[in-house]
Amino acid sequence: MVRRSAKSPFMPSSLVFPGGRVDDTDGGDALGDRGQAGTDAAFEAAARRECREEASLDLDGVPLVWFDTWCTPSAEPRRYHTRFYLAVLPEGGGAQAQTDEHETHEGRWASAAAHLDAWNREEVDLPPPTLCTLLRLRDQGLAGLVQLAETADVGEAIVPKVIAHANVITIVMPHDPAYATADGEAGPVPSRVHDLPRRFALTGKRWMPC
């Protein structure tokens, strides 16, 4: 995982997985032709390129398993339709990984449990999608993510909503009873959300499940 720059306009200083925008050329051919934005090939090409740029992590030839999709709440001025991928590296395959010290800093390999322990100690901030991914990984392991990819409709994006009450900012998930009547763009209720927390409240500098 990497820590985003404190100067980033979106999720500054948060601990996240490497990633970024799909470029026009992602998914194009070897001659540099423009790719087709929004295609599976473009998303996969972007995932490989961003890992290389942000973490010096070469995923060429490594199969990517698409296991989750999230969309930023409509209350946010910057919105992203984000796919999450799993890649299993050969032994020693990540030994040369390092951050670019521009967009990303403090690269770290650790178990999901160790990352969550650091979050519990308030040493790092984890955005709700990242937090949910680490909870799944800790509780279900790699096999659980692979099973999710094989059995769930990962193309249905999880689209949370944001509500503010009594000066507390809360992210409401699709399976929360208040989701349907809360303001904001609504999405489907994918089956894979039901084992996730129903809400996240911004407590201090951290998003906390509640």
CA end-to-end span of the chain = 24
Q: Tokens 């996969």 sit at which residue? A: 44
The CATH number of the domain where 74 resides is what? 3.90.79.10
Residue 152 is assigned to a structural domain of this protein: yes
Domain that holds residue 18: 2-159
Residue 86 is assigned to a structural domain of this protein: yes
Q: How many domains does the chain have?
A: 1
Phi-psi region of 106 (alpha: psi -120 to 50; beta: other; left: phi over 0): left
Would you state the pLDDT for residue 133? 96
Q: Which residues of 135-161 are buried (b: 16+ CB within 10 A; e: fewer)?
A: bbbbeeeeeebeebbeebebebbbbbb
SS (H, E, C) the chain: CEEECCCCCCCCCCEECCCCCCCCCCCCCCCCCCCCCCCHHHHHHHHHHHHHHHHCCCCCCCCCEEEEEEECCCCCCCCCEEEEEECCCCCCCCCCCCCCCCCEECCCCCCHHHHHHHHHCCCCCCCHHHHHHHHHHHHHHHHHHHHHHHHCCCCCCECCEEEEECCEEEEECCCCCCCCCCCCCCCCCCHHHHHCCCEEEEECCEEEEC
Among residues 188, 206, 208, the alpha carbon closest in space to that of 198 is found at 208
Strand partners, 200: 171, 209
Distance CA 175, CA 172 (A): 8
Would you state the pLDDT for residue 130? 94
pLDDT digits (tens, 9 = 90+) for 29-58: 544 555 566 899 999 999 999 999 989 999
Residue 196 is assigned to a structural domain of this protein: no
Residue 82 is assigned to a structural domain of this protein: yes
The whole-model pTM stands at 0.89
Phi and psi dihedrals of 164, rounded to 5?
-125, 125
Residue 187 is assigned to a structural domain of this protein: no
pLDDT tens, residue order, the chain (210 aa) = 888 765 665 565 678 899 889 998 897 654 455 556 689 999 999 999 999 998 999 999 999 999 999 999 999 888 989 999 999 998 888 888 888 777 778 888 999 999 999 999 988 889 999 999 999 999 999 999 999 999 989 999 999 999 988 888 999 999 999 999 999 999 999 999 999 999 999 988 789 998
Residue 125 is assigned to a structural domain of this protein: yes
Residue 120 is assigned to a structural domain of this protein: yes
Phi and psi dihedrals of 83, rounded to 5?
-100, 140
Residue 128 is assigned to a structural domain of this protein: yes
Instruction: Quickly count: other Cβ atoms within 10 Å of residue 100's Cβ.
Output: 16
Would you state the pLDDT for residue 41? 94
Would you state the pLDDT for residue 205? 78
Q: Which is it for strands 81-86 and 168-172: parallel, antiparallel or unpaired?
A: unpaired
Would you state the pLDDT for residue 43? 95
